[in-house]
């Protein structure tokens, strides 16, 4: 139902041509070698419909720009306190606290800070703004087999912007890839991914109840879209499974995911197992989150055992890489 409402709203706004054409981008990384083949430019978008407990880019979850505070760099000079037009910053012992309800991410405190202890994550950019950066990197694409990857956050969460960016890449002969959680309407998937050469799709849990518990949303649209991308759109598809101990890194989940891939997608769809890392924990603190998550890393032996389990289904499986 939620899904249908999102489609209806999006279609209506699209027809009226009133959707904001700018995307919220929080990082553009050149010379990336982990987000697809060759040397790539990876564009990280802000905003995601999922709330994975282990998210390694928590600054990508909210669509709007957000303030980050790097406590270890702060010398408590107090310049930011007086610069804030909303009186959102106050001292609290040997650190500062920002009232996130009051903060509007205006950036005044970032400008004045002498130690770069404050940063606004996310800025509005047009697809053409992003392409200026991409064109500078494009000399590395042909020889290395690289191109542009849209990541996040969730590229399908900003469909107009992602569609436009992929369209320009296609016109200019730049190879394209996307890293997606797959949680979107069928219409958005078909529209945004039409100009995409390679799709990395996460299946965080094959069981609907577990998926909802871990991410906040059911997995039905994700599994349906995996089949559409593979069979109807005939895209190159790689399934990624982030592995978080005591969450989804269980034999039961691997068995169910292996069954879904072999029976519904095909044995020739490669799989990547991505071990959990705790890079998101510090970022949660920098965003002033009260709830900070940290889990144990899966051991190499455990990862190897999961890899062999999936290979038992006749799948080609890689371990390692970034989540
Ligand atoms: S970003 Fe603007 S509103 Fe937010 S704390 Fe800094 S100065 Fe205040
Ligand atoms: S301006 Fe920067 S260094 Fe000074 S108190 Fe604020 S965050 Fe700390």
pLDDT at 18: 43
Tell me what the pLDDT averaged over the chain comes to: 93
Beta carbon of 103 within 6 Å of any ligand 1 atom: yes
pLDDT-based confidence at residue 320 (cuts at 50, 70, 90): confident
pLDDT at 82 over 50: yes
CATH of segment(s) 2-63+123-319 = 3.20.20.70
pLDDT at 13 over 60: no
Residue 3 to residue 118: CA distance in whole angstroms = 37
pLDDT at 281 over 70: yes
Q: Give me the mean pLDDT over the 143-148 stretch.
A: 96
The ligand that comes nearest to the alpha carbon of residue 74 is: 2
Write out the two tokens for 152. Answer: 């996040």
174-210 pLDDT per residue, tens: 999 999 999 999 999 999 999 999 999 999 999 999 9
Of the candidates 66, 117, 56, 119, the one whose C-alpha atom is nearest the C-alpha of residue 283 is 56
Topology of 67-120 in CATH? Alpha-Beta Plaits (3.30.70)
Which residues line ligand 2 at a C-beta cut-off of 6 Å? 74-80, 96, 112-113, 115, 117-118
Residue of minimum CA distance from atom 6 in ligand 2: 80
Write out the two tokens for 205. Answer: 């849990």
Query: If DSSP codes are grouped into helix, strand and coil, which group holds residue 93?
Result: coil
Residue of minimum CA distance from atom 1 in ligand 1: 105
Domain boundaries in the chain? 2-63+123-319, 67-120
pLDDT at 8 over 80: no
237 CB burial (10 A radius; 0-12, 13-18, 19+) = buried
pLDDT at 7: 55
pLDDT at 141: 95
Residue 120 to residue 68: CA distance in whole angstroms = 6
Q: How many A from CA of 17 to the centre of ligand 1?
A: 33
Q: How many A from CA of 75 to the centre of ligand 2?
A: 6
Percent of the chain exceeding pLDDT 70 equals: 93
At CA 99, angle to CA 95 and CA 104, rounded to 5?
A: 120
Write out the two tokens for 262. Answer: 């072999």
Q: Which atom of ligand 1 is nearest to the CA of 102?
A: 3
pLDDT at 222: 98
pLDDT at 292 over 60: yes
Angle of helix 127-137 relative to helix 159-171, nearest 10 degrees?
Answer: 40
Residue 110 CB partners (closer than 8 Å, separation 6+): 67, 118, 119, 120
Beta carbon of 67 within 6 Å of any ligand 1 atom: yes
Contact assessment for residue 179 and residue 272, using Cβ atoms and an 8 Å cutoff:
no
Residue 121 to residue 59: CA distance in whole angstroms = 7
Question: Regarding predicted confidence, which is higher, 3 or 216?
Answer: 216
């Amino acid at each position: 139902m939620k899904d249908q409402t999102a489609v209806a709203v999006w279609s209506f706004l699209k027809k009226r041509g009133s959707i904001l054409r700018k995307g919220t981008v929080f990082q553009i990384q050149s010379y990336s070698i982990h987000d697809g083949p060759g040397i790539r430019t990876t564009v990280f978008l802000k905003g995601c419909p999922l709330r994975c407990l282990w998210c390694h880019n928590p600054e990508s979850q909210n669509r709007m720009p957000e303030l980050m505070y790097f406590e270890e760099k702060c010398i408590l000079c107090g310049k930011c306190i007086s610069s804030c037009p909303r009186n959102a910053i106050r001292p609290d012992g040997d650190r500062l606290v920002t009232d996130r309800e009051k903060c509007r991410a205006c950036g005044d405190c970032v400008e004045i800070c002498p130690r770069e202890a404050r940063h606004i994550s996310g800025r509005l950019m047009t697809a053409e703004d992003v392409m200026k950066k991409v064109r500078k990197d494009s000399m590395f694409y042909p020889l290395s087999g690289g191109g542009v990857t849209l990541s996040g956050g969730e590229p399908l969460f900003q469909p107009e912007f992602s569609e436009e960016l992929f369209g320009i890449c296609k016109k200019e002969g730049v190879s394209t890839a996307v890293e997606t959680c797959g949680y979107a309407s069928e219409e958005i998937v078909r529209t945004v991914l039409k100009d995409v050469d390679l799709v990395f799709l996460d299946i965080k849990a094959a069981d609907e109840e577990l998926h909802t518990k871990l991410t906040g949303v059911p997995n039905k649209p994700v599994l349906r879209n995996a089949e559409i991308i593979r069979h109807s759109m005939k895209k190159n598809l790689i399934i990624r499974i982030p592995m978080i101990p005591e969450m989804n890194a269980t034999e039961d989940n691997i068995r169910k995911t292996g069954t879904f891939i072999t029976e519904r997608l095909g044995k020739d769809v490669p799989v990547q197992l991505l071990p959990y890392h705790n890079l998101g924990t510090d970022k949660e603190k920098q965003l002033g989150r009260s709830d900070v998550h940290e889990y144990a890393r899966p051991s190499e032996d455990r990862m190897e055992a999961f890899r062999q389990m999936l290979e038992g289904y006749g799948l080609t499986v890689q371990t390692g890489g970034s989540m």
